[in-house]
């Protein structure tokens, strides 16, 4: 019986202990929800030490984290993460606290432990290199932004600044007292206004603040009023307040967004709650787009990615449409709060889910032309710290702004800080040196930024440089010579704009260009094929001329090229001159190529001329043959060989040898053509003698060509004697020696193609 009594007694004591433990845990939770962290810490410590309850240890870790006591937060999280029941998120938070406490290597260990359980976390690369990333954030905007305290903060909570007219509207609990659960005096969050005069001094931009006072007796009430947003002309307000609800056992107070329109000074219409407010979740922290058509806010409504997510609602026919979650690129398993949509298309917000320096950090993300969000960027130190930093608003020119932080050195729990960009604006204008026209898509390498810059369609690149800094920029664009320039901001002041022109010199291209024309008509030839041959450099594809007969090759430096032109029913030409781009050679070679037809269409007129079209004054012109004065009936075109014979002799005189070489080259360039070499005499002497003499002369030319390597089956020698005179100097007709000379001629014409 005694054992039974002892068991019953122990059981009753155990039940009493559990009941007492539960009561204290419930009371501590209410203190946590009321943000009374010192009271919560006292109760959780008692439960943790007496009952060794893991939940009490976890809440202690969270409470110490909220009060910026990261040393104790680290101690209690260390008690949690080594237990089998610890979650991946707790290991992650522990790693963040270790990082903030300067224990970088240990933090990386716990991030790896977290990633073992969450291997697909998109932050994986950053977490595995947390130490390096932390250093990057610490130096990211150092020297570019100056953070300053403001003199209108109180010793309580001041937070959530918003621009309004010539000052700021913010939330503060410096007035409006209320008694909490333990009879202690607490204060309502109300809206306050302070004048903010911006002056530009020799030291840069400075704010002079007035006295803070209640913003509106009409809007402030015995509820919490918090974060505000205004439309462009400040005639409409949206702000967060605690939601009027029936008493519940949990005593959880939800937040909602209400709006009102301004009637007159401190006169506003009745407050209109947004349609998607709810008793079961929070809707808070409004921000309007500049056009007033989109409302961004934070909420823990069902269907999100974690604690509190960012949403947007669009105004349709005067009504706010159902909210849309901004997605996993922005929202995380943590809390995303305090959105601020800037006119530049940037969305500023705070988060403890994206990896940062600790607590809530301020981030920004750019909305691109496709209405999609680019990669989220951490602002970096000194805007962010190991403490909670949130609620950033930036001026329209993005040169200054305000944010809230509970960092060490403030007057109260949360304080409002100003920030000024201590860098200068730099505008680079990229132009063509010759035309002065803007150059788009110029890539600019530099030694001050992490990525190359690219000029827009107007040739402009805009960026910011730190004061007292020098950067080297090297601009490059295809077909232009690269250009480097050093730009320093030694004499600039914060907010100054430096405008620098960078003119790029067009690269002198190495070219072979020209025109192909018909030697008979002097008209440009379309459809002519131009080919380059080189034994030293890369092969270049053939080019076909258009109706203008023009062609252009871009060639390489240090090479020699042979140029050939071809077209059906025309003699192909391979130019004797090589085009070499070595040493001090010309950069551009201009060529005129006269292709000679060997066949004309029926009834087409024969036009003999030596006047080619002028393409360039110093162009290289290909030598051609002169058309005979005697037409053929079969459509073939006879060409003169300017070779001469002594009277009664068949051998070619010395001065005619270059003309034979000219014919030899033509036949070599056209290896399939069969030609007739014909010889003619004048009418003096016996016709039989003239016939034999002309045949010997034609044979002599053919024999010379054969000796040079032209196949015999491609050559026909034909003597016509005096049968084809080109003038009236027949037998018995008195003519001058020059007239007789016209009949003493040697010609060639194409008979066909060798199969």
Residue range 15-40: average pLDDT?
74
Residue range 200-208: average pLDDT?
78
Q: What is the pLDDT of residue 228?
A: 95
Name the residue range of residue 357's domain.
145-421
Per-residue pLDDT band for 16 (boundaries 50, 70, 90) equals very low
| Proportion of the chain above pLDDT 70, given as a percent | 91
Phi, psi of 664 (to 5 degrees): -60, -45
- Secondary structure in 3-state letters for 734-745: CCCHHHHHHHCE
| Proportion of the chain above pLDDT 90, given as a percent | 49
Distance CA 556, CA 542 (A): 15
Mean pLDDT of the chain: 86
Residue 542 has pLDDT above 90, yes or no: yes
Which of 624, 642, 663 delimits the end of a domain? 624
Residue 482 has pLDDT above 70, yes or no: yes
| Residues 629 and 597 placed together within one structural domain of the fold | no
Positive or negative, the CA dihedral 213, 217, 223, 226 is negative
CATH of the domain at 548: 2.60.40.1120
- For residue 711, count other CB atoms closer than 10 A to its CB: 12
| Residues 738 and 694 placed together within one structural domain of the fold | yes
| Residues 552 and 698 placed together within one structural domain of the fold | no
Residue 43 resides in a domain? no
Which of 624, 642, 662 delimits the end of a domain? 624
| Residues 620 and 717 placed together within one structural domain of the fold | no
Q: What is the pLDDT of residue 252?
A: 67
Distance CA 136, CA 146 (A): 18
Residue 69 resides in a domain? no
Total domains in the fold of the chain = 4
Over residues 583-624, the pLDDT tens digits come to 777 888 999 999 999 987 654 454 444 455 554 444 455 567
Per-residue pLDDT band for 225 (boundaries 50, 70, 90) equals confident
Over residues 110-151, the pLDDT tens digits come to 999 999 999 988 888 889 998 999 889 998 888 788 899 999
Phi, psi of 614 (to 5 degrees): -80, 120
Residue 96 has pLDDT above 60, yes or no: yes
| Residues 243 and 186 placed together within one structural domain of the fold | yes
The answer to whether the beta carbons of residues 697 and 742 sit under 8 Å apart is no
| Residues 415 and 440 placed together within one structural domain of the fold | no
Per-residue pLDDT band for 246 (boundaries 50, 70, 90) equals low
Per-residue pLDDT band for 251 (boundaries 50, 70, 90) equals low
Distance CA 200, CA 295 (A): 33
Q: What is the pLDDT of residue 1?
A: 45
Residue 399 has pLDDT above 60, yes or no: yes
CA-wise closest residue to 287 among 194, 391, 378? 391
| Residues 599 and 660 placed together within one structural domain of the fold | no
DSSP string spanning 323-351? PEE--TTT--SSBEEEEEE-TTSEEEEEE
Residue 62 resides in a domain? no
Over residues 690-731, the pLDDT tens digits come to 999 999 999 999 999 999 999 999 999 999 999 999 898 988
DSSP 367: B
Q: What is the pLDDT of residue 347?
A: 96
Which of 504, 536, 553 delimits the end of a domain? 504
Q: What is the pLDDT of residue 29?
A: 87
| Residues 449 and 396 placed together within one structural domain of the fold | no
Residue 134 resides in a domain? no
Residue 24 resides in a domain? no
| Residues 191 and 319 placed together within one structural domain of the fold | yes
CATH of the domain at 169: 2.115.10
Residue 18 resides in a domain? no
Q: 275 Cβ partners below 8 Å, 6+ apart? A: 319, 320
| Residues 158 and 253 placed together within one structural domain of the fold | yes
Who wins on pLDDT, 16 or 515? 515
CA-wise closest residue to 147 among 340, 394, 403? 403
| Residues 529 and 573 placed together within one structural domain of the fold | yes
Greatest extent of the chain over all pairs of C-alpha atoms, in Å = 171
Residue 370 has pLDDT above 60, yes or no: yes
The answer to whether the beta carbons of residues 306 and 331 sit under 8 Å apart is yes
Over residues 45-73, the pLDDT tens digits come to 888 888 888 888 899 988 988 888 889 99
Per-residue pLDDT band for 17 (boundaries 50, 70, 90) equals very low
Q: What is the pLDDT of residue 152?
A: 95
Distance CA 423, CA 720 (A): 94
Residue 561 has pLDDT above 90, yes or no: yes
Q: What is the pLDDT of residue 274?
A: 94
Q: What is the pLDDT of residue 617?
A: 42
pTM higher than 0.85, yes or no? no
Phi, psi of 363 (to 5 degrees): -125, 165
Who wins on pLDDT, 755 or 176? 755
Over residues 637-691, the pLDDT tens digits come to 899 998 877 767 788 888 888 889 999 999 999 999 999 999 998 888 899 999 9
Residue 32 resides in a domain? no
Q: What is the pLDDT of residue 6?
A: 39
Residue range 317-323: average pLDDT?
94
The number of helices, as runs of H, and strands, as runs of E, in the chain is 11, 46
Which helix (H) or strand (E) segment holds residue 674: the answer is: strand 673-680
Q: Would you state the structure tokens that stand for residue 382, as one six-digit string?
A: 């000194």
| Residues 382 and 413 placed together within one structural domain of the fold | yes
Distance CA 377, CA 137 (A): 10
Residue 224 resides in a domain? yes
Over residues 278-316, the pLDDT tens digits come to 999 999 999 999 999 999 999 999 999 988 999 999 999
Over residues 628-637, the pLDDT tens digits come to 888 777 888 8
């Amino acid at each position: 019986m005694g054992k039974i009594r002892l068991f019953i007694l122990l059981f009753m004591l155990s039940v009493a202990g559990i009941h007492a433990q539960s009561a204290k845990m419930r009371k501590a939770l209410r203190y946590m929800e009321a943000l009374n962290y010192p009271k919560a810490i006292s109760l959780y410590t008692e439960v943790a030490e007496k009952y060794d309850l893991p939940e009490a240890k976890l809440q202690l870790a969270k409470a110490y984290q909220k009060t910026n006591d990261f040393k104790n937060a680290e101690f209690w999280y260390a008690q949690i993460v080594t237990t089998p029941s610890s979650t991946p998120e707790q290991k992650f938070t522990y790693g963040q606290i270790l990082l903030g406490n300067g224990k970088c290597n240990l933090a990386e260990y716990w991030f790896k432990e977290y990633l073992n359980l969450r291997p697909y976390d998109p932050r994986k690369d950053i977490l595995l290199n947390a130490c390096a990333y932390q250093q990057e954030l610490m130096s990211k905007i150092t020297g570019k932004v100056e953070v300053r305290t403001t003199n209108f903060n109180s010793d309580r909570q001041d937070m959530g600044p918003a621009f309004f007219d010539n000052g700021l509207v913010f939330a503060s609990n410096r007035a409006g007292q209320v008694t909490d659960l333990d009879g202690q005096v607490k204060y309502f969050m109300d809206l306050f206004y302070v004048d903010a005069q911006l002056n530009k001094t020799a030291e840069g931009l400075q704010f002079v603040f007035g006295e803070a006072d209640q913003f509106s007796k009409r809007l402030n009430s015995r509820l919490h009023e918090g974060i505000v947003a205004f439309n462009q002309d400040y005639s409409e307000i949206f702000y967060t307040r605690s939601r009027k609800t029936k008493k519940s056992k949990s005593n959880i107070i939800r937040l909602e967004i209400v709006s009102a329109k301004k009637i007159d000074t401190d006169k506003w219409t009745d407050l209109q709650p947004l349609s998607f407010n709810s008793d079961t979740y929070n809707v808070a922290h409004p921000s309007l787009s500049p056009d007033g058509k989109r409302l961004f806010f934070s909420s823990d409504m069902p269907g999100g990615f974690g604690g509190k997510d960012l949403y947007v609602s669009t105004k349709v026919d005067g009504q706010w449409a159902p909210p849309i979650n901004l997605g996993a690129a922005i929202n995380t398993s943590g809390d995303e709060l305090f959105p601020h949509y800037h006119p530049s298309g940037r969305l500023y917000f705070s988060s403890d889910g994206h990896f940062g320096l600790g607590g809530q950090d301020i981030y920004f993300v750019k909305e691109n032309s496709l209405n999609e969000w680019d990669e989220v960027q951490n602002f970096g130190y000194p805007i962010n710290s190991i403490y909670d930093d949130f609620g950033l608003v930036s001026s329209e020119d993005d040169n200054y702004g305000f944010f809230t932080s509970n960092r060490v050195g403030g007057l109260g729990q949360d304080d409002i800080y100003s920030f000024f960009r201590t860098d200068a604006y730099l505008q680079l204008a990229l132009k063509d040196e010759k035309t002065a026209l803007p150059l788009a898509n110029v890539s600019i390498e530099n030694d001050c930024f992490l990525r190359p810059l690219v000029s827009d369609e107007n040739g402009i690149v805009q960026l910011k440089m730190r004061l007292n800094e020098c950067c080297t920029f090297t601009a490059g664009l295809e077909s232009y010579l690269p250009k480097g320039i050093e730009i320093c901001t030694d004499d600039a002041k914060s907010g100054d704009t430096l405008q620098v022109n960078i003119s790029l010199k067009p690269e002198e291209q190495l070219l072979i260009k020209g025109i192909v024309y018909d030697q008979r008509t002097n008209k440009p030839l379309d459809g002519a094929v131009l080919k380059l041959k080189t034994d030293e450099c890369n092969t270049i594809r053939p080019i076909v001329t258009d109706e203008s007969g023009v062609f252009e090759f871009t060639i390489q430096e240090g090479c020699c090229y042979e140029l050939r032109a071809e077209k059906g029913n025309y003699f192909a030409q391979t130019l004797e001159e090589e085009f070499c781009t070595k040493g001090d050679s010309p950069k551009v070679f201009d060529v005129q190529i006269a292709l000679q037809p060997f066949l004309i269409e029926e009834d087409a007129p024969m036009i003999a001329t030596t006047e080619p079209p002028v393409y360039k004054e110093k162009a290289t012109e290909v030598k051609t043959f002169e058309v005979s004065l005697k037409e053929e009936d079969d459509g073939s075109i006879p060409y003169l060989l300017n070779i001469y014979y002594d009277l009664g002799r068949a051998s070619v005189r010395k001065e005619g040898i270059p003309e034979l070489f000219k014919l030899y080259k033509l036949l070599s360039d056209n290896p399939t053509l069969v030609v007739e070499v014909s010889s003619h005499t004048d009418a003096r002497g016996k016709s039989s003698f003239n016939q034999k003499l002309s045949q010997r002369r034609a044979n002599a030319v053919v024999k010379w060509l054969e000796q040079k390597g032209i196949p015999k089956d491609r050559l026909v020698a034909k003597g016509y004697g005096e049968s084809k005179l080109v003038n009236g100097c027949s037998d018995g007709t008195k003519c001058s020696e020059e007239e007789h000379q016209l009949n003493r001629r040697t010609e060639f014409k194409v008979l066909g193609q060798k199969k």
